[in-house]
Amino acid sequence: MREWIVAGNWKMHNTVAESTALAKAIKEGAVDIKDGSVILAPPFTSLHGVSEILKGSDLLLAAQNMHYEDKGAFTGEVSAPMLKDIGCSYVIIGHSERRKYFQEQNADVNLKIKKALSSELTPIMCVGETDEEREKGITQEIVGRQVDHGLKGVSRIENIVIAYEPVWAIGTGKVATPAQAQDVHAFIRKILNESYGKAANGIRILYGGSVTKDNIGDLIAMGDIDGALVGGASLKADGFLGIIREISGKK
């Protein structure tokens, strides 16, 4: 049995005051939900404030990115020990916006995954094909390479979460159909199984891309979809709590 995860990726939104107010509303609304994990990923500047709000609750804190070195002359970057220090237990790695706008490659993703694991942060590794790649029929090739290269040299996968986020579905309102998502999730689990055996059955694979409380019900009913990575709909407590309620009790 895999426990569900719902993670809210706030991206570059919210001041400290806005972030703490949103975190407080989500914390209060989710107080009776115990059967899965709710994770909030505010921007770096709000991590401390949100961490304080989440203290004493079951909600968990994630960063949206990190560097693969512990410290050094890397202006503008943030390291794993810094994230641990501020209360993060998760970190999103290789989001498609990082790949697209900041030229992150699978090799960078791999270094970050290894650093997160050795720092006892659980990475949420994002993979997904573009519209063009899907049209060319190379979705499996692209996603397979992202998974293989991202996890190169990683011997244990127990503490990794994967998010399948088709690039064409992110922020577009064009959600993948449950069958499209399930196909790719099952494919990811299959290749994990080839490398890691039975451990693959315990890995949570989240779907991301235009998730709302109205479409998550059908997605979460699929066998290999274990939760959601939510962008736009995580910015309002009502919408985000609605997604959590749709998933809670169904996995």
Q: Which residues are catalytic?
A: 95, 165
Residues 6-35 that bind ligand PGA (CB under 6 A): 9
Interface residue with ligand PGA, options 230, 237, 241, 243 (CB under 6 A): 230
Residues 137-166 that bind ligand PGA (CB under 6 A): 165
Q: How far apart are the first and last CA of the chain?
A: 8
- Rg (C-alpha) for the chain, rounded Å, is 17
Interface residue with ligand PGA, options 36, 94, 150, 209 (CB under 6 A): 209
Q: Which residues contact 183 (CB under 8 A, 6 or more apart)?
A: none
Distance CA 141, CA 251 (A): 29
Are the C-beta atoms of residues 171 and 128 closer than 8 Å to each other?
no
Interface residue with ligand PGA, options 122, 210, 215, 248 (CB under 6 A): 210
Residue 36 in contact with ligand PGA, rule: CB under 6 A: no
Residue 117 in contact with ligand PGA, rule: CB under 6 A: no
Q: Report the b/e string of 106-137 with b at 16+ CB within 10 A.
A: bebbbbbbbbbbebebbbbbbbbbbeebbeee
Nearer to ligand PGA, 36 or 128 (CB): 128
Interface residue with ligand PGA, options 211, 225, 243, 244 (CB under 6 A): 211
Q: Residue 32 CB, nearest distance to ligand PGA (Å)?
A: 25
Residue 215 in contact with ligand PGA, rule: CB under 6 A: no
Distance CA 145, CA 147 (A): 5
Count of C-beta atoms within a 10 Å radius of residue 180: 17
Nearer to ligand PGA, 30 or 170 (CB): 170
Are the C-beta atoms of residues 140 and 155 closer than 8 Å to each other?
no
Q: By Cβ distance, which residue is nearest to ligand PGA?
A: 231
Q: Residue 80 CB, nearest distance to ligand PGA (Å)?
A: 21
Tell me, by CB under 6 A, how many residues bind ligand PGA. Answer: 13
Extract the tokens encoding 122: 């659980």
**Site for ligand PGA, rule CB under 6 A:** 9, 165, 170-171, 208-211, 229-233
